Amino acid sequence: MPDPAIEIENLTKEYPFGFLHLKKRTSLEGLSMQVEMGDVFGFIGPNGAGKSTTIKLLMGLIFPTAGSARILGKPISDVEMHGDIGYLPEQPYFYDYLTAAEVLDYFARFHDLTAADRKDRVDRMLRKVGLETARKIQLRKYSKGMLQRVGLAQAILHDPKVVILDEPMSGLDPVGRREVRDIILELKKDGKTVMFSTHILSDAETLCDRVGVIVGGKLRGVGAPGTLVDMKTLGMEILFELTGTANVPLLSKATRTGDCYRLQVPEEELYAAIEQLRGAGAHILSVSQVKATLEEFFMNLVEADRAQGAAVEVSGQ
Amino acid sequence: MRRAGVVALNTFREAVRDRVLYNLVFFALLMIAASVAVGQISIGIEQTVIVSLGLSAISVIGLLISIFLGVALVSKEMDKRTLYTLLAKPVRRSEFLLGKFAGLVLTLAVNTAAMAMGLLLAMLYVKHSLERSDTVVLVAVYFILLKLALIVALALLFSCFTTPLLAILFTVGLYSAGLYVQELRNLPIEVMSPPMSAFTKWLSYLLPNFENFNVMAMAAHGRVVPGALILQNTLYAVVYCTIVLTAAAAVFSRRNLK
């Protein structure tokens, strides 16, 4: 079995604050996890959960209070290892006096590439992120979405083995988000390892082999999106049309959209509900199973974390 | 070293595209031109006035650039978070600092050379010819550049651990103190206790000695600057900059970015 692309062991980050920095706020607490080679790994959590802190620690932008991490078998303190890593920071900002082509060429110079190779890669990347027509415009005139594209281009410019993206969909319109999704899938097809943070759960669900859920600085679950959530059926959903004003008790539990109603019932009450609806003249359009989604799993964790926080506050008082 | 060179060239490119810099250099050239007018009403001491005013203009503009841009070298990259992407490349923090320092010193060298050219043209206009002894002006300009390099190193060091405003204040403070090193060293021992005397002596060697770089009076009167002083000042600037930059790298290597 090959070594994991990213190994994190008991990674902790505390920030001192207050007078003389005597108090400490824990941003990340004892994070341990692995990202396998060739996987697309989604790091999900609400704002302030510790996603960006983890990524900044991995990239050596901040230093851990405790714990360690390795990327491609090398410690994160080894700067040379960055030659095999691509990184897109959250809300990236570049030298605004440079054009997109210049900024990419600048970053390419830190890798051992020939001038011809640099030019070729810059051209290819600008085409890939849809910026070839804006290549000669200074970045100060770029929109947030365009800067995000430049950020993505510089992250994959040098053909890295591991790509770490901090909120790559942020600031992008639906077309841009679709393009980023395609690029991530393309990277996976090329055998690259991709780790990206997001709070858009549908992106994680559709793109990731595995996800890690982080809430309040602690990792609350790691695994394939399907295995993380409880897969048992939560109930049955009946979609039906009903015209007129028939007196059906179940209607009070249904959600109405135009002439269509959506009703969720326990699995064992399905047939009784259908009979009652048909008796009232309803036209059944569809019946489907309702299963837990990653979103529900995520929301349960967030709510539990908030409840715990509230309990601590109450006991503190 | 190659990576530091890439950072240096980009720092130079940033300065070249910054219009404020051109305004400052234009202002310096204007002051040099004005010195010609002042020189013409100073009968018999035209050259002294032109050289004094010209060198002062070069020094003041260089000081402004080196302090303000020197502090911004690191703080701007951190505030705008351009540093995040850069440090994710195979670049050491010390290479980044060295590159930023070299880039600004290169910018100062080009600006100082342009202003020195303006000064020489002003002298040529007044005297109608330049003499061999006028090369002392170039030596004075070279010393100004060495002084500016030292200031950039200090500004860079302070900006590695404090806010831009405090870094500016610290740099200006240290520069001001560095102008009076000789006085500090020669404080009359009778008025101080022996420990205090030892402390001021020790402090005078620790502070950057900017007084040594001031040969404006010699240049204004066309006196030759000894070769030993040129060598001594060059060595002093190189060693002092190396120490300050090493300290800056040590501080910056441990700094958490925001």
Residues of B in contact with A94 (CB under 8 A): 82, 85
Q: What's residue B237's pLDDT? A: 95
Name the residue among A156, A225, A154 with its Cα closest to residue A190.
Answer: A156
Q: Which of B3, B14, B81 sits opposite A110 (nearest CB)?
A: B3
**A63–B87: do the CB atoms touch at under 8 Å?**
no
Is B132's Cβ below 8 Å from some Cβ in A? no
Separation of CA B174 from chain center:
13
**A111–B92: do the CB atoms touch at under 8 Å?**
no
- Tell me how close the Cα of A61 comes to any Cα of chain B, in angstroms: 6
Query: What percent of chain A has a predicted confidence (pLDDT) above 70?
Result: 92
Residue scoring higher pLDDT (B29 or B112): B112
Q: Which of A55-64, A138-147, B42-51 has the highest mean pLDDT?
A: A55-64
Residue of chain B nearest A157, judged by CA positions: B89
Residue scoring higher pLDDT (A114 or B34): A114
Residue of chain B nearest A77, judged by CA positions: B92
CA B53/CA B64 separation, integer angstroms: 16
**B85–A154: do the CB atoms touch at under 8 Å?**
yes
The end-to-end CA distance of chain B, in Å, is 27
Name the residue among B60, B219, B59, B49 with its Cα closest to residue B126.
Answer: B49
Mean pLDDT of A128-149: 87
Residues of B in contact with A154 (CB under 8 A): 85
Q: Could you read off the pLDDT of B51-65 as tens digits, one per residue?
A: 888 899 899 999 999
Query: What percent of chain A has a predicted confidence (pLDDT) above 90?
Result: 40
CA A83/CA A110 separation, integer angstroms: 8
Sign of CA dihedral B130, B132, B133, B136: positive
Is A107's Cβ below 8 Å from some Cβ in B? yes
Question: Mutating which of B2, B85, B107 best tests the A interface, going by the most A Cβ atoms within 10 A?
Answer: B85
Mean pLDDT of B202-217: 87
Tokens of A133: 């027509």
What band does A315 get if pLDDT is binned at 50, 70 and 90?
very low
Q: Could you read off the pLDDT of B211-227 as tens digits, one per residue?
A: 888 888 877 777 888 88
Residue scoring higher pLDDT (A297 or A104): A104
Q: Which helix (H) or strand (E) holds B108?
A: helix B93-127
Q: What's residue B158's pLDDT? A: 95
Could you say which residues from 11 to 70 on chain A have a Cβ atom under 8 Å away from some Cβ of chain B?
56, 59-63
Q: Put residue B68 in one of left, alpha, beta given phi > 0 → left and psi -120 to 50 → alpha.
A: alpha
Separation of CA B108 from chain center:
8
Beta-bridge mates of residue A247: none
Name the residue among B232, B1, B185 with its Cα closest to residue B97.
Answer: B1
**B85–A82: do the CB atoms touch at under 8 Å?**
no
Q: Which helix (H) or strand (E) holds A14?
A: strand A6-17
**A92–B88: do the CB atoms touch at under 8 Å?**
no
Residue of chain B nearest A163, judged by CA positions: B88
Q: What's residue A316's pLDDT? A: 37
Q: What's residue A312's pLDDT? A: 43
Domain extent listing, chain B: 2-254
Of the listed ranges A43-47, A227-231, B70-74, B161-165, the one predicted with least confidence: A227-231
Whether pLDDT at B33 is above 80: no
Sign of CA dihedral A156, A158, A159, A161: negative
Is the pTM of the predicted complex or chain greater than 0.95? no
Residue A231 DSSP class: -
Residue of chain A nearest B7, judged by CA positions: A106
Please, are residues A200 and A32 in contact by the beta-carbon 8 Å criterion? no
CA A313/CA A64 separation, integer angstroms: 27
What band does A317 get if pLDDT is binned at 50, 70 and 90?
very low
Residue scoring higher pLDDT (B131 or A104): A104
Residue type, A212: G
Q: Could you read off the pLDDT of B117-155 as tens digits, one per residue?
A: 888 888 888 777 778 778 888 999 999 999 999 999 999
Please, are residues A222 and A210 in contact by the beta-carbon 8 Å criterion? yes
Q: What's residue A246's pLDDT? A: 66
Residues of A in contact with B6 (CB under 8 A): 106, 109-110
Please, are residues A62 and A56 in contact by the beta-carbon 8 Å criterion? yes
Q: What's residue A84's pLDDT? A: 93
Please, are residues A151 and A88 in contact by the beta-carbon 8 Å criterion? yes
Residues of B in contact with A91 (CB under 8 A): 81
**Helix residue spans in chain A (DSSP H):** 51-58, 100-108, 115-128, 144-156, 174-189, 201-207, 225-228, 270-279, 294-316
Whether pLDDT at A210 is above 70: yes
Mean pLDDT of A242-269: 82
Query: What percent of chain B has a predicted confidence (pLDDT) above 70?
Result: 98
Size of interface A-B (CB pairs under 8 A): 66
Q: What are phi and psi of B37, to 5 degrees?
A: -65, -45
Query: Please, is A219 exposed, middle or buried when counting C-beta atoms within 10 Å of its C-beta (0-12, 13-18, 19+)?
Result: buried
**A80–B14: do the CB atoms touch at under 8 Å?**
no
What band does A151 get if pLDDT is binned at 50, 70 and 90?
very high
Mean pLDDT of A268-293: 85
CA A285/CA B148 separation, integer angstroms: 80
Please, are residues A65 and A90 in contact by the beta-carbon 8 Å criterion? no
CA B78/CA B210 separation, integer angstroms: 30
Tokens of B125: 């206009």
Q: Could you read off the pLDDT of A56-66 as tens digits, one per residue?
A: 999 999 999 99
Question: Mutating which of B84, B91, B258 best tests the A interface, going by the most A Cβ atoms within 10 A?
Answer: B84
